[in-house]
Amino acid sequence: MLSIVKRILGQIKNDKRSLGLLVFAPLLVLTLLYFILGDSNYLPRIAVYDLNEKFVTELEQHASVVELDAQPDVKDYLEENSSDALLWKDTGGLHLELLEQNSKAAAAQKAIQDTNKALQPAQSEMSIAYVYETADDNQLDSLSYVFLGVISFFFVFILSGMSFVQERFGQTLERMLMTPIRRTDVIGGYTLGYGLLSALQSVVIILFAVYVLKLQVAGSVGLCILVMILMAFSAVSIGALVSIFANNELQMVQFIPVVIIPQIFFSGLIPIDTIPFGLGNLCYVTPIYYGCTALEMIMIQGKGLLEIWPWLTGSVIFIGVLFFVNVLALKKYRRL
Amino acid sequence: MKIEVNQVDKAFKKQRVLSQISLTTESGRIFCLLGASGSGKTTLLRIMMGAIAAENGTVMIGGTKVPNRELLAEMGYMPQNDALYEELSVWENLKFFAGLHQLNRNTFERNANELLQVVDLLPEKNKLVRDCSGGMKKRISLMVAMIHQPRLLLLDEPTVGVDPVLRRKIWDYLKQLKNDGITILITTHVMDEVTQCDDAALLRNGHIIARDTVANLISRTAGGNIEELFFMDGESEMEAALC
């Protein structure tokens, strides 16, 4: 088993590109997400018609306002003038028309709500607070556990899956199995070898996220690393399993939508109990669910080992089951 | 190590690849499986190693029934592809496979240096395999098969793509191994290679059409060319398939 671990580390040492992709590609994607989902100071562009001056003056504090002299055709105006919303008043009351439901429309609505609030302050305004607070102007902070888990899982899955496919089609796997090595040692060596590389990746990703991107981690950074490493081990095992069904590298890539994308749905991006027809229960067969839930509990809720152990146990059971499935699958290449 | 193959059958997806194959080779002999591409040579080799199961029949190696994991320690296998790790050096490849055979450091270094000298690769031992030529890769692959000093060598088309000078050198080395009591089974589709061997079996469409010592096989031909044996059996299409 140790020979395989050493060999994998030696291969990566001589393959700087793969090492770079394993370590730096996730950092690049995270940085990109940080800027895309990070602090947003988008000022919505709202066209108004026939509104009182006081309202428009206040609205200008929250949005870029264009005053119109005549009521235009709404669809044409919004499409042609890059406005996010058209607001007007008639006998029926105040009307707001938006081009489509997106974050720009939401920003326009918020600007109008803020304007109303400023003009008509309530006597006893409802105060909203979250038990587990994240920076409300930074979506990456509130979803960091999803992105950290999914990105790490994805890159490790690709690396280990591709390596297995190459081993099979380059006949090195067959050659390896024509030695007295046990099948458990082959899978163990692979899982440990790529697991160690993934552990390196996990440490780098977490440290980068916490100390460079300044993402919030309410709990222990060390515990986050432990969860990420467990996720990486399950990614290696799934990569190995999926490679059995792929006849070449292209097919391995084609498995990504089947294996990775459904898991993203159960990573915490969508609350599990809002998924209809009981489909949310599928989360229990996806390793990302266990990892991302544990990460959420640590990063957002500040929970410790005593609270997250069931999720860690779930990850470990998953790794164990996949290990034995992979060992059995190797029978295809050697009967003993 | 004596090889005994007894009435082996194999089919892939209802297509019969091997039919009632039986052959025996004694220790310290070079046995050649000769046949065109697709005749079943590699399949038979893989059955002998226990990589795949035969539908019927048995394979015994050194008196032990295949598959047997311990038996693999006594066998060296060179697949048709180079089957090497491109990102590792020549030395690292040898070291990895030596590790799988649990060779200690001294034995590995002694064997590796001896093999590197035989195949003229000693100065290139630290070169990455991806930077080696096709012929060099073939030689490295051969070394990997022999690094643990096996008693039985199974070589699948070992000299394809190797230049004539080096081919002769490899054959000289194989003959030296044979004299040391090592059994060697090679597959080839090159007729000239057969004359280097002691015994041969001619495979066509999964059947053995002739099996004997090479000297006897040659004596059965009019012109002294083993190739004639394929035509004697009436399959003229073999002419195009065989070199």
Sequence spans of domains, chain B = 3-83+151-241
Contact flag A170-B69 (C-beta cutoff 8 Å): no
Alpha carbon of B96: minimum distance to chain A alpha carbons (Å): 6
Domain contains A126: no
Select from B77, B81, B84 the Cβ nearest to the Cβ of A178. Answer: B77
In angstroms, rounded to a whole number, what is the distance separating the alpha carbons of residues A45 and A51? 16
In angstroms, rounded to a whole number, what is the distance separating the alpha carbons of residues A294 and A298? 6
Domain contains A130: no
Kindly list the residues from chain B whose CB atom is less than 8 angstroms away from the CB atom of residue A15.
Answer: 87
Provide the pLDDT for residue A247: 80
Question: B187-204, pLDDT tens digit by residue?
Answer: 988 877 888 899 999 888
Contact flag B69-A336 (C-beta cutoff 8 Å): yes
Question: B112-124, pLDDT tens digit by residue?
Answer: 999 998 888 899 9
Residue A123 pLDDT class (50, 70, 90 cuts): low
Topology annotation, domain B3-83+151-241: Rossmann fold (3.40.50)
Select from B67, B97, B101 the Cβ nearest to the Cβ of A336. Answer: B67
Closest chain B residue by Cα to residue A2? B99
Contact flag A11-B70 (C-beta cutoff 8 Å): no
Do B69 and B43 meet the contact criterion of CB atoms below 8 Å apart?
no
Question: B88-103, pLDDT tens digit by residue?
Answer: 999 999 999 999 999 9
Question: Sheet of B152-156: strands edge to edge?
Answer: B75-78, B152-156, B183-188, B30-35, B199-204, B207-213
Contact flag A333-B51 (C-beta cutoff 8 Å): yes
Residue A251 pLDDT class (50, 70, 90 cuts): confident
Q: Are residues A155 and A215 in the same domain?
A: yes
User: Which of A1, A7, A166, A167 to mutate against chain B (most B CBs within 10 Å)?
Assistant: A7
Q: Are residues A186 and A114 in the same domain?
A: no
Please give the model's pTM, rounded to 2 decimal places: 0.79
Domain contains A59: yes
Q: Are residues A110 and A183 in the same domain?
A: no
Question: A168-204, pLDDT tens digit by residue?
Answer: 888 899 899 889 999 999 999 988 998 888 888 888 9
What distances in angstroms separate CA A246 from CA A250, A254, A266, A319, B164, one per listed residue? 8, 9, 24, 21, 39
Which residue range forms the structural domain that includes residue A205? 2-37+137-332
Select from A7, A10, A335 the Cβ nearest to the Cβ of B50. Answer: A335
Tell me whether A181 touches chain B (CB under 8 Å): yes
Select from A10, A179, A180 the Cβ nearest to the Cβ of B88. Answer: A10
Provide the pLDDT for residue B237: 45
Q: Are residues A25 and A101 in the same domain?
A: no
In angstroms, rounded to a whole number, what is the distance separating the alpha carbons of residues B66 and A225? 46
